[in-house]
Structure 1
Amino acid sequence: MPGKFDPPADDRPGYIEGESGVAGFGCRDFYVAWIPSRLARELLIKHHYSHRIVNNSYCHLGVYYRRNLAGALSFGYALNPIQVGKIVPDTKTGEYMELNRMWLADVAPRNSESKALSYAFKYIKRACPSVAWVQSFADERCGRNGVVYQAANFLYCGHHWTEFYFLDAEYYHVMLLTTNKKGGGRGRTLRANLDRAIPLRFRQFRYVYFIKKNWRKRLALKTHPYPKPESTD
Structure 2
Amino acid sequence: MNTHTATQLTLPLDLPTADTGWCQRWRLRQPGWQHRHLGGFDPDRYTVALIAARPARLFVLQHHYSASWPKAQLCYGLLARTPDLDDYPDPHPTARTPAGLLVGVAALSIPMHPAVLTKPFPGLVPNRESLDLGRFVLLDPVPGNAETWFLARVFRLAASAGIGGAVAFSDPMPRCRFGELLMGGHHGIAYQGGNGRHVGTSRGGPLVLFPDATSMPARTLTKIRTGAQGWRGAAERLILRGASPYTSTQPLAQWLPPALTAAGATVVQHPGTFKYAWQIRTGRDARIALPALPYPKPPTSIDELVRTVLAAGGHR
TM-score range, shorter chain: 0.7 to 0.9
Paired residue type of 1:39: P
C-alpha displacement of 1:52: 1.0
Paired residue type of 1:150: Q
**Which residue does 1:199 correspond to in 2?**
267
C-alpha displacement of 1:90: 3.2
Q: Deviation per CA, 1:152-209, whole angstroms, max 9, x where unpaired? A: 1100011122431123433211111122234543345453523563221243110101
Q: Deviation per CA, 1:6-31, whole angstroms, max 9, x where unpaired? A: xxxxxxxxxxxxxxxxxxxx964121
CA distance in 2, matches of 1:214, 1:183: 42
* 1:31 aligned onto 2:60: no
Secondary structure of the residue that 2:58 maps to in structure 1?
Answer: helix
CA distance in 2, matches of 1:39, 1:106: 18
**Which residue does 2:129 correspond to in 1?**
95
Larger Rg: 2
Contact kept? 2:123, 2:285, Cα under 8 Å: no
Paired residue type of 1:194: L
Residues 202, 91 of structure 1: alpha-carbon distance in 2 compared, 3 angstrom cutoff:
same
Q: How does 1:1-233 map to 2 (within 5 A)?
A: 28-54=44-70, 56-67=71-82, 68-93=101-126, 94-126=128-160, 128=161, 130-141=162-173, 142=183, 143-160=185-202, 161-169=204-212, 170-179=214-223, 180=227, 181-182=229-230, 184-187=232-235, 189-190=237-238, 191=256, 193-195=259-261, 197-200=265-268, 201-215=270-284, 218-230=287-299
C-alpha displacement of 1:121: 1.1
Residues 132, 183 of structure 1: alpha-carbon distance in 2 compared, 3 angstrom cutoff:
farther
Contact kept? 1:164, 1:202, Cα under 8 Å: no
CA distance in 2, matches of 1:92, 1:69: 31
Q: CA RMSD in A?
A: 2.5
CA distance in 2, matches of 1:186, 1:59: 26
CA distance in 1, matches of 2:234, 2:284: 39
Residues 82, 226 of structure 1: alpha-carbon distance in 2 compared, 3 angstrom cutoff:
closer
CA distance in 1, matches of 2:54, 2:292: 36
Return 5+ residue gaps in structure 2 as ranges: 1-41, 83-100, 174-182, 239-255, 301-307, 309-316
Contact kept? 1:138, 1:205, Cα under 8 Å: yes
CA distance in 1, matches of 2:289, 2:232: 35
Q: How many residues align?
A: 204
CA distance in 1, matches of 2:105, 2:230: 27
Secondary structure of the residue that 2:124 maps to in structure 1?
Answer: coil
C-alpha displacement of 1:132: 0.8
